[in-house]
Every structure is written in C-alpha cells, then in structure tokens.
Amino acid sequence: MSLPACTNRIEGTWEVRVKNKLKKIRGINKHLLPSYLDEYLWRSWYFDGTLDPSEYFEWLVCGITKYYCH
C-alpha cells in the first residue's frame, strides 16, 4: 500500500521552486514542460546546491554511464 501524497507540499514546491524557475526563463513551450520538470526533479534529487552548475553535465554523464554500462 502506498502512502498518500501531501498535496500542500506538492503545491508549495510547484509554487515556490518550479514556477519561479519557469518565470526566470520567461515561459516555455507547452510541449517542453515535461522535459523542464524532469530537469528540475533531476537537479533537486541529485544536487544539493553545492556544485557549480558547470559540473552538472559531468555528473549527468557519470550517472548515465553508471546506469547503462554496468
């Protein structure tokens, strides 16, 4: 049995983090929204803000290599 999602937390995350990020890039094309959300989740799950943004790509490649090249 899975636990129910806390909608307040989901809505708060959307409002404070995701929506503000989208405002910074001045909107998006609707068909690109899923990829922006994927990127947001990837960054929030794997990076705590201590990495320089230039290191994100390096870590992405490492993650892909680890996952697909066992």
Report yes or no: 47 and 59 within 8 Å, Cβ to Cβ: yes
**pLDDT category of residue 10 using cuts at 50, 70 and 90:** low
How confident is the model at residue 26, as a pLDDT? 72
Cβ atoms 46, 63 nearer than 8 A:
yes
CA distance 4 to 33: 25
Up-side HSE of residue 9: CA atoms within 13 Å toward CB?
3
Query: Which tens digits make up the pLDDT trace of 12-70?
Result: 666 666 676 666 667 677 788 888 888 777 777 777 677 787 787 888 888 788 878 86
Task: Tell me how far apart the alpha carbons of residues 21 and 51 are, in angstroms, rounded to a whole number.
Answer: 18
pLDDT value, residue 4: 64
Cα–Cα–Cα angle for 18, 27, 14, rounded to 5 degrees: 15
